[in-house]
């Protein structure tokens, strides 16, 4: 999705903006642009359809200025083109604006501005903002007031950065539903939509809240609200390494992130497993034992893979703590006027912490007085700040659009939450010890699975030749099957459907035949025999079966097998997902897909 970078300081802005934009390429985009100004006045602008490298090649040597803004655009209003790229200018070319999000009343505002004689140079909603700021600047000398005046007329979501050729000592940024983070340097300041663009220059960041604006100068910043009240912000430190934003010798970020999972899980577990009391320490939950016992239900909310990891979480909480738990897509929940119950604990899951639908669900719960915790990867993100407490994953930055290490770390975080809740309820110390030991075994067991990459790649090459694939699993295997299908379709574009194995006979069995192979997720648990029966039914219809599980069945049930180490039954689903990630990755490679940036998808969906 779109990206924003802004710089003000003593250096030449353009190279810093271009470097920052390159760091945001992973989010997906179709065009890019930069605008700079300086003490000599006047705006300089270059913007182009295409890659950041094309933009860098088009920036002339005389493109000088110590303050500037840059943007990578993912088209919403108007096709990808030079004209529709950001930054957008007002008619007098005094103001330059970059914008992430969607201005919902753009058409109405455009018509009004056109009736007043404004001529538009693009089809975008963003250009409306540039003209509105110019209109309000006629009534005030303060850039901040002009921006506030313009934003007051706008309905929709935005993260924006505004440059004023007549005020080269500042940039004004604003956030409403689309992230903006300030980066604090030495006599220089940065702003961006994603810390990825900042980590090369600074680790000290300030996250803006929705409805907040900031004036950013070379020597500092001030923040205020849309109604001009000053706000106080504390900088936080980003602990993610710059190296995390490189492929580090891997062919793609996706395989790098799959390979990083042992270390990611170690970080998620670090300091949290308490073997003495056979429980988990999760201080960030902000719940004492009495409060933790008082909840009668748990509702988990997330989108896409975050939702599927929430399904694994619900299962873990029910199994270990015996509290009824259920996961639901946040995108559905927020629109159905949900009943918020005082004795339900709500948990929002998000890698980015910026997914708009999940954030909106959290806000809806809080507005109705519910208690909501976050299981979030990105420290200081909007969802993390909005929640009443939670668990950070510490999985490290996830760059590839398809989530892998965050998915696994989320499942591990839920295992910790379930263990903690279990031990304040009726999970015995012996069972608690068993889960502690199982958790500690996970990183090495993931390493063992990753060691099978070559053979899984071979299978992926074969299975990728089919037009579609079915994924089935029962109970613990069912969320794993769902995530396996999601990964495959996302990165390889091979159609994949997931069904509970128990549901196959109720409809989808009609699809089964030699042209539709099935991945069956079959742990060695009490449901193995039932799963084998389902596999037999598929084989009887000449469907090819690839089984992922712990022990090879009679060959009549499955042509192919991926066997993984056994952990505790409750924790096995965490491991069962790993081979499916490798399968999806290698299917995508075999089909020569754009592995890290699948078509039509964005890393974080900050719009509705
Ligand atoms: C995962 O592979 C997907 N790209 C997508 O489903 C993702 O999990 C979803 O958009 C939620 O993102 P979040 O975790 O950043 O909230």
Per-residue pLDDT reduced to its tens digit, 434-446: 999 999 999 999 9
Which residues approach ligand 1 with their CB closer than 6 A? 303-306, 350-352, 355, 358, 401-403, 490, 604-605
> How many angstroms separate the CA atoms of 313 and 300, rounded?
8
Contact in structure between 584 and 402 (CB atoms under 8 Å): yes
Nearest CA owner, ligand 1 atom 4: 402
Which residues are marked as active site? 2, 603
- Residue 2's pLDDT band, with cuts at 50, 70 and 90, is confident
Which of 432, 396, 512, 526 shows the shortest CA–CA distance to 474?
A: 526
Nearest CA owner, ligand 1 atom 6: 304
206: β partners: 182
- Is the pLDDT at 607 greater than 80, yes or no? no
| Predicted model pTM | 0.87
Mean pLDDT of 359-363: 96
- Is the pLDDT at 246 greater than 90, yes or no? no
Mean pLDDT of 7-11: 97
- Is the pLDDT at 49 greater than 90, yes or no? yes
- Is the pLDDT at 321 greater than 90, yes or no? yes
Distance 146 CA to ligand 1 centre (A): 36
Instruction: Give the per-residue pLDDT at 52.
Output: 95
Q: Using CA atoms of 575, 581, 586, 588 in order, give the dihedral in degrees to the nearest 10.
A: 170
Q: What does the angle CA 575 – CA 463 – CA 256 come to, to the nearest 5 degrees?
A: 45
Mean pLDDT of 568-574: 98
Mean pLDDT of 404-426: 97
Q: What is the three-class DSSP state of 549?
A: strand
Mean pLDDT of 547-556: 96
> How many angstroms separate the CA atoms of 16 and 22, rounded?
10
- Is the pLDDT at 144 greater than 70, yes or no? yes
Burial of 295 (0-12, 13-18, 19+ CB in 10 A): buried
Q: Which residue has the tokens 């954030």?
A: 359
- Is the pLDDT at 606 greater than 90, yes or no? no
Residue 135's alpha-carbon distances to 83, 87, 94, 126, in angstroms, are: 22, 18, 11, 15
Distance 12 CA to ligand 1 centre (A): 36
Contact in structure between 26 and 399 (CB atoms under 8 Å): yes
Instruction: Give the per-residue pLDDT at 475.
Output: 96
Distance 470 CA to ligand 1 centre (A): 21
27: β partners: none
Distance 547 CA to ligand 1 centre (A): 26
Q: Mean of the per-residue pLDDT values for the chain?
A: 95
Nearest CA owner, ligand 1 atom 8: 305
Instruction: Give the per-residue pLDDT at 260.
Output: 97
Pocket test for ligand 1, best of 28, 194, 304 (most atoms within 8 A of CB): 304
> How many angstroms separate the CA atoms of 413 and 433, rounded?
17
Mean pLDDT of 102-111: 95
Distance 306 CA to ligand 1 centre (A): 6
> How many angstroms separate the CA atoms of 522 and 563, rounded?
10
Which atom of ligand 1 is the closest one to the Cα of 383? 16
Which of 596, 571, 349, 557 shows the shortest CA–CA distance to 480?
A: 571
Instruction: Give the per-residue pLDDT at 78.
Output: 81
- Residue 1's pLDDT band, with cuts at 50, 70 and 90, is low
Nearest CA owner, ligand 1 atom 3: 402
Percent of all residues in the chain with a pLDDT value above 70, rounded to a whole number: 100
- Is the pLDDT at 599 greater than 90, yes or no? no
Residue 176's alpha-carbon distances to 35, 42, 212, 336, in angstroms, are: 23, 29, 7, 23
Mean pLDDT of 282-286: 94
- Is the pLDDT at 57 greater than 90, yes or no? yes
Distance 293 CA to ligand 1 centre (A): 31
> How many angstroms separate the CA atoms of 449 and 435, rounded?
20
Which atom of ligand 1 is the closest one to the Cα of 304? 6
Pocket test for ligand 1, best of 28, 179, 195, 303 (most atoms within 8 A of CB): 303
Mean pLDDT of 103-108: 95
């Amino acid at each position: 999705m779109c990206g924003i970078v802004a710089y003000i300081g003593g250096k030449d802005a353009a190279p810093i903006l271009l470097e920052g934009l390159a760091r945001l390429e992973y989010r997906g985009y179709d065009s890019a642009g930069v605008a700079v100004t300086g003490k000599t006045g006047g705006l300089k602008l270059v913007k182009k359809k295409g890659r950041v490298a094309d933009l860098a090649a088009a920036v002339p040597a005389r493109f000088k200025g110590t303050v500037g803004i840059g943007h990578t655009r993912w088209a919403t209003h108007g096709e990808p083109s030079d004209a529709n790229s950001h930054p957008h200018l007002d008619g007098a070319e005094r103001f330059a604006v970059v914008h992430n999000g969607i201005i919902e009343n753009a058409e109405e505002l455009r018509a009004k501005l056109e009736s007043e004689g404004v001529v538009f140079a693009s089809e975008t909603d963003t250009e409306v903002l540039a003209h509105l700021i110019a209109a309000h600047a006629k009534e005030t000398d303060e850039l901040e007031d002009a921006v506030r005046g313009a934003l007051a007329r706008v309905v929709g979501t935005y993260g924006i950065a505004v440059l004023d050729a007549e005020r080269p000592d500042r940039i004004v940024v604003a956030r409403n539903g689309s992230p903006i983070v300030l980066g604090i340097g030495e006599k220089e300041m940065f702003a961006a939509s994603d810390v990825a663009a900042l980590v090369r220059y600074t680790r000290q960041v300030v996250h803006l809240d929705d409805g907040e604006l900031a004036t950013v100068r070379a020597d500092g910043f001030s923040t205020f609200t849309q109604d001009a009240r000053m706000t106080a912000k504390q900088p936080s430190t980003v602990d993610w390494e710059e190296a995390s934003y490189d492929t580090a010798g891997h062919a793609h970020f996706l395989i790098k992130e799959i390979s990083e999972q042992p270390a990611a899980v170690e970080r998620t577990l670090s300091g949290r497993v308490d073997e003495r009391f056979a429980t988990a320490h999760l201080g960030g939950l902000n719940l004492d034992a009495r409060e933790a016992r008082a909840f009668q239900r748990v509702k988990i909310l997330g989108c896409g893979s975050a939702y599927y990891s929430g399904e694994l979480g619900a299962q873990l909480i029910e199994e270990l703590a015996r509290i009824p738990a259920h996961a639901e897509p946040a995108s559905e929940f927020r629109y159905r006027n949900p009943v918020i119950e005082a004795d339900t604990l709500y948990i929002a899951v998000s890698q980015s912490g910026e997914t708009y639908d999940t954030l909106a669900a959290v806000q809806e719960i809080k507005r109705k007085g519910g208690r909501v915790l976050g299981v979030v990867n990105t420290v200081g993100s909007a969802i993390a700040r909005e929640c009443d407490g939670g668990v950070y994953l510490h999985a490290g930055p996830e760059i590839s659009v398809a989530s892998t290490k965050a998915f696994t770390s989320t499942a591990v975080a839920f295992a910790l939450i379930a263990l903690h809740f279990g031990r304040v309820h009726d999970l015995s110390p012996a069972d608690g010890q068993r889960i502690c030991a199982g958790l500690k075994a996970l990183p090495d067991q993931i390493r063992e699975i990753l060691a099978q990459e070559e053979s899984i790649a071979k299978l992926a090459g074969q299975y990728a030749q089919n037009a579609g694939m079915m994924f089935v699993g029962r109970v613990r295997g069912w969320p794993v099957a769902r995530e396996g299908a999601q990964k495959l379709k996302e990165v390889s574009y091979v159609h994949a459907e997931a069904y509970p194995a128990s549901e196959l006979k109720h409809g989808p069995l009609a699809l089964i035949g030699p042209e539709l192979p099935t991945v069956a997720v079959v742990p060695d648990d009490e449901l193995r025999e039932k799963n084998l029966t389902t596999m037999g039914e598929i084989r009887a219809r000449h469907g090819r079966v690839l089984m992922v599980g712990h022990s090879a069945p009679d060959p009549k049930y499955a042509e192919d097998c991926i066997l993984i180490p056994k952990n505790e039954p409750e924790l096995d689903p965490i491991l069962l997902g790993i081979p499916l990630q490798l399968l999806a990755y290698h299917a995508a490679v075999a089909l020569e897909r754009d592995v890290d940036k699948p078509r039509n998808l964005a890393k974080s969906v900050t719009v509705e």
